Chains A and B, each alone.
Chain A
Amino acid sequence: MNEPSEYRKMNRGSRARLSLQRIWIGRDHLLLIRASGWNEVYRRFYFEDIQSFTMIWSRGYVIWGILLPLLALILFAMVWSWGARIAAGITGGVFLMLWMVHLLKGRTCKCWLQTGINNERLHMLKRVSHARKFWEQVEPLLIAAQGDFSLEEMDAVGMFPDRKMRPVPPAVPRVDDPNAGAEGASDETAVVN
């Protein structure tokens, strides 16, 4: 089965450590493919399970924005001092070109997709513009599956701790209480009946 028609490619894919990540939109889920060597691992995020998409602006944009022209300048000066003027021009030009591309691509970011059980980093979304484009494509599908987010509803549900998740342990009978044993016995009988 080569690329089923029910999946739509979202981006070209991007390197993340030793693997290549790509993301596809399916009928009812997002499919994250992590290819490392000859193995591919698939993670599916169903539209109704996705809780949030978080984007953090990373410092890469500023750091490379400073480093690349500095590198261009240093390498240009170094090669110029050797007397190879054309090579110096090419070296400096390449780094300046990289710097321009970096600036034009816009701010860098890190993105996460949160579900009830995990918070998956989306390594393929490294620029704010790409992340926004991704969200523009995905948001209508998620809203169609879940409806609109309501802050009031969230406040109403989540302002108090969930009592069901933390069951209150039974009270420990006091030793000095003469009726403690009798009460305990009657409780037990009630449970059995």
Chain B
Amino acid sequence: MNRFNVKCPECTYPLAAEHYNTPVGHQVCGNCLSKVVVHALPALYRKKQSGASAQEAGLDDAGCYFHESKKAAHVCDSCGRFLCELCALPMGEETLCTSCLEHHRSESSSRHDFIPRQFRYDRLALGLAIIPLVYFPLTLFTAPAVLFIVLRYRKKELFMAQHVKGRMVTAFILGLLEVLGWLVAFIALIGWFINE
């Protein structure tokens, strides 16, 4: 059995390589009898160049920014630093250094290509504007929060987010109406007390 064989996702039994990439049909897992279709790619058995073999820099060689004694083999596409095999991080078509990757993964980065997660303030604002309507007294606390979130984060750029403005505007209008509703109720209550 080849050690690169794709395992059945249900039972981790190795699937026969002869049936990979067949145009039609499927193979049956020898263990769980599931019908499986496998599309395999060369990355399955080809080794990626590992950074463990960074060469020592000669007198005429440029050295790595992070390891002076190592020969520079790449240039960071973001900051332009020379990098040895050990420090170069291939990210798709780009090569980055560790510090640039760390910077791009933070939310403060202007690039959004590498962020691992994101908080959606537009959804939070809309949720806080709509969900408490089920039990109206809660809006006394949530409506000001909605207005705060919308005003505070209205200009925040969100990655892969659609209809942000629409959500923000809807949340703002609802929040404003809820606040106005409470104001009217308080004024009416105060007026009622004065009249009494």
Contacts and interface: CB of A to CB of B under 8 A. Distances in A.
Interface of A: 1-4, 7, 24, 26-29, 31, 33, 35, 37-42, 44, 46-57, 110, 112, 114-116, 119, 121, 135, 139, 142-143, 146-151, 153-155, 157-159, 161-162
B51 interface: no
> What's the dominant secondary structure at chain A's contact region?
mixed
Given A56-B9, A110-B9, A119-B9, A2 B39 contact: no
Given A52-B44, A151-B18, A39 B9 contact: no
B6 A57 contact: no
B45 A33 contact: no
Given A39-B120, A52-B41, A154-B2, A1 B10 contact: no
A3 B162 contact: yes
Ranked 7 nearest A-B pairs via Cβ: A28-B92, A158-B4, A57-B35, A158-B2, A51-B44, A53-B39, A55-B37
A149 B42 contact: yes
Interface string B152-181: 000001111110100000000000000000
Given A3-B160, A146-B43, A158 B119 contact: no
B127 A150 contact: no
Interface string B2-13: 111110111000
A151 B40 CA distance: 10
Contacts of A1: 112, 157-161
A157 to B, nearest CB: 5
A51 B117 contact: no
Interface of B is mostly: loop
Given A56-B10, A57-B35, A3 B161 contact: yes
30 contacts: A1-B159, A2-B161, A2-B162, A3-B160, A27-B92, A37-B127, A38-B123, A44-B92, A48-B43, A48-B92, A50-B43, A51-B6, A52-B20, A52-B40, A53-B38, A54-B36, A54-B38, A55-B37, A55-B38, A56-B34, A56-B37, A57-B26, A110-B9, A116-B43, A143-B41, A146-B42, A151-B17, A154-B4, A154-B40, A159-B3
B124 A38 contact: yes
Question: Which of B2, B121, B160 gathers most chain A CB within 10 Å?
Answer: B160
B117 A42 contact: yes
A138 B181 CA distance: 52
